[in-house]
Amino acid sequence: MAAYFQNIDKIKYEGPDSQNPLAFKYYDKDRLVLGKRMEDHLRFAACYWHTFCWNGLDPFGGDTFQRPWHQIPNAMEAAMVKADVAFDFFSKVGVPFYCFHDRDVAPEGATPRESVSNLHRIVDILGQKQEETGMKLLWGTANLFSHRRFMSGASTNPDPEIFAMAALQVKEAMDATVKLGGANYVMWGGREGYETLLNTDLKSELAQMGRFLSMAVDYKHKIGLKGPILIEPKPREPSKHQYDFDTATVYGFLKQYGLENDVKVNIEANHATLSGHSFEHEISTAIALGIFGSIDMNRGDMQCGWDTDQFPNNIPETALAMYYILQGGGFTTGGLNFDAKVRRQSIDAEDLFYGHIGGMDVSARALLIAEKMIADGKFAQITQDRYAGWRDEFGQQVLAGKLGLDAVAQRVIDRNVDVAPKSGRQELIENLLNSYI
């Protein structure tokens, strides 16, 4: 199985003029951008699930990839082989981090104890692989959506015994994350929602979800997980309506349970657009609310109404995402994980590399564009000038609560001036943005 990528050498930076499809044209990991190495800015990660677990299945057809490790009958043997292949890929493509769900790396057992034992065995192997390769874990998570027991939710399930099964998985996945030195822990509520209100007790399910997350935060502190727990918002699919609809919804939920200091968000581009927002909107919202953590970089197909998880290829949109991330201070414990999969017709080993190389180059170009925008200063200055009045004495007094509604109203009467609006100059700003690209 280690021979699966034997004809592919470690991917290197060859510059924009390179004609080699198995080389980076823009991702030069040691290049300094705003005084920091490109690799340290971007903190790339490859995901285990789409890259090594997905077999090409869709609602209308089965396995198209037919990867050799998918054909191994013994589930634990397949998991060990998959680990070999995965770390060979990580090393050759040159990502410093990876991410996984518990069931990506270790199979479900016949009993809870067997499932836990399987995970422990594979985590030991992953630890050895990390030592051998220098790879690091960006985050771990638990798959609380694939097994049929979670068809009615995990933490929001009407049966508390299934809630308990979910708690076991999260506890073990958090333990695995700490053991492997993971920088964060992610919770994605794929089944935390409903199909119909006709059989749903909304108040009960939200209370259950709040309690579950509070338990996870308590356990995070107990085991010394230093990084934050990250919630990944999504509006729908697989559920008709998911409770973690978007960043603003998640923030309101966190405030209700007093968890906003321990939990942040992992924002996925395709989830953002499914919720009716742009990727940069969700990033900016998270930064404004103080809960920005990490991102899943991908894109959706605007002609499809579902989560297609394609590799990013839109440079202007990615540049805006990187600009707002840098403006917010950049990544701390988080990073840029490719929650993306090659198309089901892309069946060759090289296709896995083409997808990641393209995504990494797009992100690198976006970073360089964001650097220009920040160095030039014009983009930010336009916004600062637009809100300049709020930095003056009157604006500061209003924001500080020193003036009530009646006092502000009296000021208008005293000045007796009909204030004229000012142009937002959107077209000018759009032209300026294109000039950087």
3-state SS string for the chain: CHHHHCCCCCCCECCCCCCCCCCECCCCCCCEECCEEHHHHHCEEEEHHHHHHCCCCECCECCCCCCHHHHCCCHHHHHHHHHHHHHHHHHHHCCCEEEEEHHHHCCCCCCHHHHHHHHHHHHHHHHHHHHHHCCEEEEEECCCCCCHHHCCCCCCCCCHHHHHHHHHHHHHHHHHHHHCCCCEEEECCCCCEECCHHHCCHHHHHHHHHHHHHHHHHHHHHHCCCCCEEECCCCCCCCCEECCCCHHHHHHHHHHHCCCCCEEEEEEHHHHHHCCCCHHHHHHHHHHHCCEEEEECCECCCCCCCCCCECCCCHHHHHHHHHHHHHCCCCCCCCEEECCCCCCCCCCHHHHHHHHHHHHHHHHHHHHHHHHHHHHCHHHHHHHHHCHHHHCHHHHHHHCCCCCHHHHHHHHHHHCCCCCCCCCCHHHHHHHHHHHC
345 CB contacts (<8 Å, ≥6 apart)? 64
The C-alpha atoms of residue 255 and residue 97 are separated, in whole angstroms, by 31
Q: Is 101 a catalytic residue?
A: yes
Catalytic annotation, pick one of 41, 50, 101, 271: 101
Check if the beta carbon of residue 320 is closer than 8 Å to that of residue 39.
no
Check if the beta carbon of residue 96 is closer than 8 Å to that of residue 135.
yes
Q: Is 385 a catalytic residue?
A: no
- Adjacent-strand bridge partners of 224: none
Catalytic annotation, pick one of 28, 88, 102, 104: 104
Number of Cβ within 10 Å of residue 138's Cβ equals: 30
Residues taking part in catalysis: 101, 104
